[in-house]
Amino acid sequence: MVDALHIGDALLHRTVIDSAPDGILLVNRSGTILGANRAMERLSGHAPDQLIGQSVGIFLPPHLRERHTTLVDTFFVQPSTRPMGMVGQLQLLRRDGGAVPIDIALGHCEADGQPLAAVFIRDMTEVSRLQSQMHYQATHDTLTGLVNRWMFGQHMQQALMQSIRQGRPLGLLLLDLDYFKAINDTHGHAVGDLVLVEVARRLKGTLRAGDLLGRLGGDEFAVLLPELMAPDDAATVADKVLRALALPCSVQGCSVDLGVSIGIACCPRDATDADTLLRYADMAMYTAKDGGRGSYASYAAHMGHRFEESLRLHDRLKLALQHDALALHYQPQVDVATGRVVGLEALLRWFDDELGTVPPDRFIPVAVNTGLILPLGEWVMKTACRQIAQWAADGLRVRVSVNLSAQQFRQRDLAERLQRCMATYGTPPELLELEVTESEAVADPEVAQQVLTWMGSLGVGVALDDFGTGYSSLSYLHQLPVTRLKIDREFIQNITSNADDATLVRAIIVLAHTLGLPVVAEGVETEAQLRFLRQHGCEAYQGWLFARALPADEVRALVWPPADGQPGTLRLA
């Protein structure tokens, strides 16, 4: 080793090892510690020289020590290296009896002819704190402390299975406050928030311990009743809720009239799957609202007129596909630091002669329910691949992100289809990125792992869309070969006014960076939001602040203005 500092080799090694941020231990075949660096003292509370000669078992709770000895033996039979992040949920027992979450990497070496294990120990306290904070925020509504829509859905799946197994009816109440918008408009959002908290408190007061209350969003709440004797008992609970909310309510000196409309659906009487049950409760709730508010209604088959509407959408959409009446628009993604356009997101647009402009949030769910999403997704893929190739042939190399639906994601031959499509148009794979929602990637980890690995081997990027709306464990994300994270618009919307959202966005950026992933923020509408993102090191953004999704020729003129031909130098807004 070159010794430019004129200090001895041994001293140099010691200095370097002691300055390492991670704890380092040298351990022999019998599990005895032969060396420890200074960071070990910070981690464990033992001074390095006190550790020499001790068994590594002192860092483990007593019940794990025996098993660990076997692991040490196995290691020395076939010494190998192991990077960080391979084993989840490790803890180190401190001298004072406390436990520190850690991650461990292993190396092996030899000294005086004896094989040694080099153990690198990283303090994960901060990362796990952020992770549990993220978990809480991803599963709860921070205003009322109730479980959020996603978590409610998880509980509901389980409760449904149990209900069917035990042959016991399960009730679902969907609650929507009446005139909540008026309360917000008249008294302001601060009072509106307190009203929601008060509603949550009253609802909790009327329910039994086994019932589950969640806030699905805005002024929408839901109650799961897993312990019904008969379906009609759900109506009794609804009645109790109505009476509890009808009592006078005063918040910050303002007297407000509370009222709620409730829709009821029961398993197995009405449906046995969560989506249908929620939809039916929703139809019943709208019926209650139409019937004069402050009341409840139970689902009945005639409420299916909304279903007919979706049939009509389906028919028109099928025609639109056949007659090429759909369009892809492209929304720029901009580098936060330089203001340059670094990519485009392809978004579907549909104008129908009879229905007018139909937003994707309305027709995509219909396409998903009717299976039309597959041909639709195929059309999007082809159109995007052709456009990328056409731009590339004109010398405009820009990455385009395409949204992948859950059904496409589960298609067995997705990789082949994609490869064929890119080959047909001569699309450079590095210019294509697929957006997969976080919840989809987490729903079936094995499929996700496989599909995303294929994408990686094709050279296609993968962004995790709507990040933050579902709960993913960090150790799992670690193993997913994704290339970017996208933070959902829902969180960006309020980063400058809501401290919880600001914290969450900051945590996501930090976590993404610990995984080495760049972040794109969605739905940026104001300079203040952009400033926040810049301050916290977010790499890119998209949103109306820069541009909406535009037709191909318009986006081309915006990103590559003919005047100077410089790609992406134009900065609007």
Rounded least distance, CB 435 to Ca ion, Å: 4
Rounded least distance, CB 370 to Ca ion, Å: 21
Q: Which of 440, 466, 501, 539 binds Ca ion (CB under 5 A)?
A: 466
Residue 512 DSSP SS3: helix
State how far the Cα of 58 lies from the Cα of 216, in Å rounded to an integer.
47
Stretch that binds Ca ion, among 93-101, 459-467, 492-500, 557-565 (CB under 5 A): 459-467
Q: Which of 159, 347, 474, 505 binds ligand C2E (CB under 6 A)?
A: 347
CB-based contact 159:214 (threshold 8 Å) = no
Q: With CB under 6 A, what is the number of residues at the site for ligand C2E?
A: 22
State the binding string over 352-391 for ligand C2E (x if CB under 6 A, else -). Answer: -------xxx--x------------x--x-----------
State the burial class of residue 92 (Cβ atoms within 10 Å of its Cβ: 0-12, 13-18, 19+): buried
State the binding string over 183-222 for ligand C2E (x if CB under 6 A, else -). Answer: ----------------------------------------
Stretch that binds ligand C2E, among 82-90, 413-421, 474-482, 539-547 (CB under 6 A): 539-547
Shorter beta-carbon distance to ligand C2E: residue 270 or 345: 345
State how far the Cα of 308 lies from the Cα of 313, in Å rounded to an integer.
9
Q: Does 261 bind Ca ion (CB under 5 A)?
A: no
361 binds, among ligand C2E, Ca ion, none (CB under 5 to 8 A by kind): ligand C2E
State how far the Cα of 519 lies from the Cα of 507, in Å rounded to an integer.
12
Instruction: Pick out residues in 220-249 that bind ligand C2E (CB under 6 A).
Output: none
Q: Does 403 bind Ca ion (CB under 5 A)?
A: yes
State how far the Cα of 37 lies from the Cα of 22, in Å rounded to an integer.
9
Q: Does 544 bind ligand C2E (CB under 6 A)?
A: yes
Rounded least distance, CB 489 to Ca ion, Å: 6
State the binding string over 49-88 for ligand C2E (x if CB under 6 A, else -). Answer: ----------------------------------------
State how far the Cα of 539 lies from the Cα of 567, in Å rounded to an integer.
18
224 - beta bridge partners? Answer: 172, 212
User: Within 10 Å of residue 571's Cβ, how many Cβ atoms?
Assistant: 11
Stretch that binds ligand C2E, among 11-19, 27-35, 122-130, 522-530 (CB under 6 A): 522-530
Q: Does 333 bind ligand C2E (CB under 6 A)?
A: no
| Phi-psi domain of 6 (left: phi exceeds 0; alpha: psi -120 through 50; beta: other) | left
Q: Which of 435, 438, 440, 539 binds Ca ion (CB under 5 A)?
A: 435
CB-based contact 335:540 (threshold 8 Å) = yes
CB-based contact 364:405 (threshold 8 Å) = yes
Q: With CB under 5 A, what is the number of residues at the site for Ca ion?
A: 4
State how far the Cα of 296 lies from the Cα of 174, in Å rounded to an integer.
9
Q: Which of 473, 508, 477 is nearest to 492 (CA)?
A: 508
405 binds, among Ca ion, ligand C2E, none (CB under 5 to 8 A by kind): ligand C2E
State how far the Cα of 251 lies from the Cα of 194, in Å rounded to an integer.
7
CB-based contact 328:349 (threshold 8 Å) = yes
Residue the block writes with tokens 């019932």: 211
Q: Does 433 bind ligand C2E (CB under 6 A)?
A: no
Q: Does 537 bind ligand C2E (CB under 6 A)?
A: no
Structure tokens that stand for 34 in this block: 């032969």
CB-based contact 459:427 (threshold 8 Å) = no
State how far the Cα of 573 lies from the Cα of 560, in Å rounded to an integer.
16
Stretch that binds ligand C2E, among 389-397, 412-420, 451-459, 538-546 (CB under 6 A): 538-546
The identity of residue 562, as a single letter, is P
State the binding string over 473-512 for ligand C2E (x if CB under 6 A, else -). Answer: ----------------x-----------------------
CB-based contact 79:28 (threshold 8 Å) = no
Applying CB under 5 A, which residues contact Ca ion?
403, 435, 465-466
Applying CB under 6 A, which residues contact ligand C2E?
331, 347-348, 359-361, 364, 377, 380, 403, 405, 465-466, 489, 522-525, 542-544, 549
